[in-house]
Chain A
Amino acid sequence: MFDSLTGRLGEIFDGLKKRGALSETDVTEALREVRIALLEADVALPVVKDFIAGVRDRALGQEVLRSVTPGQMVIKIVHDHLVETLGGDPQDEKEIGKDSGVDLGGNPPVAVLVVGLQGSGKTTSCAKLANLIKKREKKKVLMASLDIYRPAAQQQLAILGQQSDTAVLPVVQDEQPAAIAKRAMETGRREGYDVIILDTAGRLHVDETMMAEAAAVKEVAHPVETLLVADAMTGQDAVTLADSFHQQVGLTGIVLTRVDGDARGGAALSMRAVTGKPIKLMGVGEKLDEMEPFQASRVAGRILGMGDVVGLVERAADVLDQEKAEKLARKMSKGEFSLEDMLDQFKQIRKMGDVKGLLGMLPGVGKIKQQLEGANIDNSMLAKQEAIILSMTLAERRNPKLLNGSRRRRIATGSGSTVQDVNRLLKQHRQMGTMMKKMGKMGRKGMMPGRGLPPELLSQMPPMKQGPFG
């Protein structure tokens, strides 16, 4: 998400960087582009106007004209302003602690009410939130579905409960939402739950009956948190919907879903600005552990092409198999690096997700990305190389010296590639081996450019604590 806005602002500020000082015309020019970029990123118009006005005030001030690099100053102003609008503190890089990001204070059981439009991702978010609370706060969670309208909605939550090992209130036929909420709270009290998550039916904010229903549920449950679940892809309507939900139900926070998509996510800015309520969480994948506390500086950083290094490192730490990595590191320091190890590496990289997506998270890649499009660096390339190795016998993988011409031809045919592809892979493997031997001698410190790495990927990655090379 946010990639295109990144590109746009990058272009604008490239222009600015080249000049020594900023005139008022420059700022006006740049801000006009910023305005269009924000609008195209789905930031709602009124919010854009405020934002631009705020940046202009700061940019036209003395600080810019006197600063040594005015372009950078403007970038900083836009960035800080973005972070602030998103509800973060530009000075504080790590504003998020280790808790779940939601407020669970009060006498247990406390209720968390989850509302939103149809298809915004409420039910999945409920299960993810339950997971997060259990994991990070070690609390006992009960979920209840109040969606008596959509076919199989209650079943969906029940299944997600099973998958995440979270208790779900049993369904009683024909029970109304407010009654379900009441029963959930009673069950919670009786059975000693700390947190009750109430999943509601999707509703349009213009549907008065349904909004009244939500308000009625709120009366019964007295939730400590009323969270609006909204799609990161939402357009200009984000202001209207967030505002109406806030007016009619009263929100305490927002959950932004599908942040793993490529929407530019301007809705985040809009909703934060119009409700004044924090974006507390974001959904970053389909799996139940793919929800994170919202980090304003990180998101703003992505908007401005500073990359999402934090996200990348977290993802790497999540999926990389520590034990395997350590074993590999030991082997490598002894100069042993078989094709099987290489295969493992490809798999690890692929597990981290789409290669293009990963590149998008890196600083400064926003611009390079377009050039990369043509270079065909994507998962299919890794898949091809995996296929080549998989077409080898175990003996061949362990001892590539066995690979004579006829074996190479067989492998090429078996993997649907050419002998040249096979040769290229073997060469890469040799280079990696040599490099690793050197690194082993260097005591595994200060490892640098991975000359032979297939997509030059690992060398670009930020250091991982226990990465395959560290």
Chain B
Amino acid sequence: MTEMLSEQKQSLGWLARMRKGLSRSSAKLTGGITDLFTKRKLDDDALEELEELLIRSDLGVTTATKLTQSLANSRFNQEVSSEEIRGALADDMATILEPVAQTISIYQAYKPHVILVCGVNGSGKTTTIAKMAGLFKHVGFKVVLAAGDTFRAAAVEQLQIWGERIDCPVISRPIGSDAAGLAYDALEKARAERADILLIDTAGRLQNKTDLMAELQKIVRVLKKVDENAPHDCLLVLDATVGQNAHNQVEVFREMVNVTGLAVTKLDGSAKGGVVVALAEKFDLPVHFIGVGESMEDMRAFDARAFARSLMGLEVGERGEK
């Protein structure tokens, strides 16, 4: 009964795409490391510089220190090359990331499998929904979209345009309507139409706005009136350029609406996306998707090893190319 997305064929370009996107992130990081270790002793100074490089990639002080420490434990005072250091760091990162690299499982029995998408303003929720819808449709699911951002000007229209492009029905209400009411309607309609998946967009909200978070909780409450297990997934969309505030975002959204997974967007910028490593370590929440561009194809499942190795500017290698 389950159709795992992981079984979909990886379209040829996606690893290349991810690498291209990520290579921008890694160019500076690896450049820095290469400068550091053409072949040099891994002493305190070198370790400190290494730690700083990781911090500069938004890994955060704690994770950066931990990774550097583990490197120090195994190789302190050894002569090491840049390649070795990159490999070792990538391995350590991959170890942290592997448990969270999980594709989203869609249960067709739910009819529909409800995915609520939330996040702060401007993180890329609507675009992510469009990409997900495109992907789900591509693998043969019947998808319905709910334009739950009834606050921001033209947010509904934005999703409608995407809906037309990928040929998905979009359920909407005029701007200013109650988002929870819309979600309720959407779920009933999707159910009546025997849709496989219902993707619900929500307005962007900062996690410290109590009222807006309560509104999000209301959406969840109302969905449960139709299906007590809904939403089956609650996806938090994070912008890769975000710094340590990502921790707060995950923490609060998780507490409020029981986030079940993450999508990380805009990894095609120069932002390092390093925060993903720190988040994986702290929250153990699956990373379902990453976004590496603006077009429909620019989002795929998250591959820990490929991500870690790409981040360090290394070839993705056999395992990643499966």
Contacts and interface: CB of A to CB of B under 8 A. Distances in A.
Given A45-B52, A119-B123, A153-B154, A234 B161 contact: no
A163 B153 CA distance: 9
B34 interface: no
Contacts of B17: none
A354 B211 contact: yes
Contact of B244 (A42, A240, A286, A356): A42
B270 interface: yes
B55 interface: yes
Given A235-B58, A236-B58, A118 B266 contact: yes
B77 interface: no
A110 interface: no
B228 interface: no
B124 A40 contact: no
Given A231-B241, A233-B245, A234-B242, A159 B122 contact: no
B183 interface: no
Interface string A242-267: 00100000000000001011111011
B210 A379 contact: yes
Nearest to B62: A40
B245 A237 contact: no
B195 interface: no
Contacts of B242: 231, 233-235, 263
Interface stretch (A20-28, A74-82, A144-152, A389-397): A144-152
A267 B243 contact: yes
A160 interface: yes
Given A119-B121, A119-B123, A235-B58, A40 B157 contact: no
Contacts of A240: 28, 270
Interface residues of A, number: 52
Contact of B56 (A36, A44, A163, A356): A44
Nearest to A118: B266
A45 B56 contact: yes
Interface of B is mostly: loop
A155 B157 contact: yes
A205 B151 contact: no
A325 to B, nearest CB: 23
B81 interface: no
Contacts of B155: 152, 156
Contacts of A261: 120, 206-208, 245
A354 to B, nearest CB: 5
B298 interface: no
Contacts of A179: none
Nearest to A263: B245
Nearest to A204: B269
A150 B120 CA distance: 18
A442 B281 CA distance: 60
Contact of B269 (A205, A231, A260): A205
Contact of B154 (A39, A159, A286): A159
B174 to A, nearest CB: 12
A118 to B, nearest CB: 6
Contact of A263 (B60, B243, B266): B243
B209 A354 contact: yes
A135 B244 CA distance: 36
A178 to B, nearest CB: 20
Interface string B152-186: 11110110111000000000000100000000000
B288 interface: no
Interface string A25-64: 0000000000010011110110000000000000000000
Contacts of A237: 58, 241, 243, 269-272
Contact of A231 (B52, B60, B122, B294): B122
Contacts of B201: none
B271 A235 contact: yes
B275 A262 contact: no
Interface in B169-223: 175, 206-211
Given A39-B61, A40-B61, A206-B270, A260 B206 contact: yes
A151 B161 contact: yes
Contacts of B239: 119, 231, 233
Contact of A378 (B58, B123, B210): B210
Residue from A240, A378, A380 having most chain B Cβ neighbours under 10 A: A240
Interface in B104-130: 120-124
A156 B209 CA distance: 23
Interface string A104-137: 0000000000000111110000000000000000
B68 interface: no
Contacts of A238: 243
A262 B270 CA distance: 24
B120 A151 contact: no
A121 B121 contact: yes
Interface in A200-239: 204-206, 231, 233-238
Given A120-B122, A155-B157, A156-B153, A234 B244 contact: no
Interface string A337-359: 00000000000000000101100
A238 B56 CA distance: 10
A155 B156 CA distance: 11
A181 interface: no
B24 interface: yes
Contacts of B124: 118-119
Contacts of A235: 58, 241-246, 271-272, 275
A196 interface: no
A417 B206 CA distance: 30
Contacts of A411: none
Contact of A117 (B60, B162, B241, B244): B241
Contacts of A233: 120, 239, 242-243, 245
Interface of B: 24, 28, 52, 55-58, 60-61, 120-124, 151-155, 157-158, 160-162, 175, 206-211, 239, 241-246, 248, 266, 268-272, 275, 294
9 closest Cβ pairs, A-B complex: A235-B243, A119-B122, A42-B243, A156-B154, A159-B153, A151-B161, A152-B157, A263-B245, A152-B158
24 contacts: A36-B61, A39-B55, A42-B243, A117-B266, A119-B124, A155-B153, A157-B153, A205-B269, A206-B270, A231-B122, A233-B120, A234-B242, A236-B55, A237-B243, A237-B270, A240-B28, A240-B270, A241-B271, A261-B206, A261-B208, A262-B206, A263-B243, A267-B243, A356-B208
Given A117-B266, A262-B207, A262-B248, 4 more contacts: A40-B244, A152-B157, A231-B122, A233-B245
